[in-house]
Amino acid sequence: MGKSVSHVQEVLSYIKTNKIQFIDFKFMDFPGQWQHFTVPSSELSADSFDDGFGFDGSSIRGWKSIHESDMLLIPDPETMFFDPFTEASTLSLICDVYEPATKEKYDRCPRNIAQKAEAYLKSTGMADTAYFGPEAEFFVFDDVRFDSGPNFSFYSVDSIEGKWNSGREENPNLGYKPRFKEGYFPVPPTDQLMDLRNEMVQNLINIGIEVEAQHHEVASGGQCEIDMKFKPLLRAADQLLMFKYVVKNTAKKRGKTVTYMPKPIFGDNGSGMHVHTSLWLKEKPLFAGGGYAGLSEMALYFIGGILKHAPSLLSFTNPITNSYKRLVPGFEAPVNLAYSQRNRSASVRIPMYSNSPKSKRIEFRCPDPAANPYLAFSAIMMAGIDGVMNRIDPGEPLEKDIYDMSPEELKDVPSTPESLGHALKSLAEDHEYLIKGNVFTEDVIRAWINYKVEKEIKPMALRPHPFEFEMYFDV
């Protein structure tokens, strides 16, 4: 498998020096959730990084059928981190998934797709590194209840910060509930999550993640953001999963819960995941130039590729039915496919905080944190590369506030898909850019569409919605 001997020895030495009791193997399922299993540290040896550990692939969503279930996990020694949440001392390793018969990487392993994307970029000669910096927003709740059955369906979320609790008896209620759309950036005591976010940041730093900032977000009800420093594609995806793991478990230790579902609250802002990206070659940035907003020709073509392929791209960057409850006008979510400097209502923004060529990047604002980052980052890069290769003109920038424009002014500005179903239909029709270099495969595209339709869209479509009773019960 070609694992670095020095990295393997570093892992084994760390285990011995720190008297690690358990090794936790983490890997990514198809839809985008971390899975794991654990072995005593005595089970891990240098050979483990070549031989791997077997598991049942038929029990993982979107993968094998029961008659071909055996799979192999091989840990990546460069991904180790000490787990701060387990009672017994535990070292975590992120793994790649292999076919045991051939020792080939499994095509539907999302981490494999990200590795192939990085290799494809280098093979083009245009760049050797794609940097990604995701800003994953989330809600911190104090209580979450939901259930559904043949004759009922409901959900209820609650937060000490929720404006809806301004009249609740809390013995005492001290007020300080951020008004809807006014949660950005009040100081404590209105911001009641400062200490929790600081603890999250410290836990992230302790496992090796560089954090740039933390703050309260726009929505009432505990919306937050913690920003990590940009990293190469694969490492950025690994870190986003580490980030989610740390944030959720830090909240749980304090008796709170975190969700990355994009739109858990009606009538207020949803959670996005703005993705900053740039291409580099031989440690030199390629997106800085003399064009619009200080961009190079390559960067503008990269934007052109994203805008052209956005309807299909969103099936990976906004991959759940709830994603499209956020992508509606009026809540800062970018539903119009355009680009602009500084204008946050455009789906692609060029941040203007610094004139340094190294900081020149584009910000794709459509994605949300429900995305599988290996698939989403790879798809974004592939769309951008297609734009560069085919010199796709992104058109004129949009400098006006999109939400103040008239329908006549907006008629020529394309919009994001209205639903996951529309995005998947676009993916079925437009995925040639994804299968270049065998990064995504036809099997992966078909499996993704089938899984989303059969496991998410159809079950959702079959169920009466609670609000339908309010609108239609008396017909």
Q: Name the residues annotated as catalytic.
A: 56, 135, 137, 217, 225, 274, 344, 363, 365
The string over 252-280, giving b where at least 16 C-beta atoms fall within 10 Å of a residue's C-beta and e elsewhere, is eeeebbbbbbbbbbeebbbbbbbbbbbbb
What are residue 415's DSSP bridge partners? 336
From first CA to last CA, the distance across the chain in angstroms is 65
Side chain identity at residue 363, one-letter code: E
Please report, for residues 35, 56, 116, 417, the alpha-carbon distance to residue 69 in angstroms, rounded to integers and kept in the order given: 16, 5, 24, 36
Instruction: Measure the CA–CA gap between 169 and 157, rounded to whole angstroms.
Output: 17
Between strands 339-341 and 348-350, the pairing is: parallel
Decide: 129 and 232 in contact? Cβ < 8 Å: yes
Taking the C-alpha atoms of residue 70 and residue 470, their distance in angstroms, rounded to an integer, is 49
- C-beta atoms surrounding 155 within 10 Å: 11
- Can you name the residues that pair with 37 across neighbouring β-strands? 25
Give φ, ψ of 158 to 5 degrees. -145, 150
Q: How many CB atoms lie within 10 A of CB 201?
A: 21
Measured CA to CA, the distance from residue 359 to residue 362 in angstroms comes to: 10
**How many angstroms separate the CA atoms of 242 and 260, rounded?**
14
User: What is the DSSP track for 294-330?
Assistant: GB-HHHHHHHHHHHHHHHHHHHHHS-STTHHHHSSTT
Ranges of H-type helices in 273-419: 297-317, 323-326, 373-389, 407-410
CA distance 55 to 428: 32
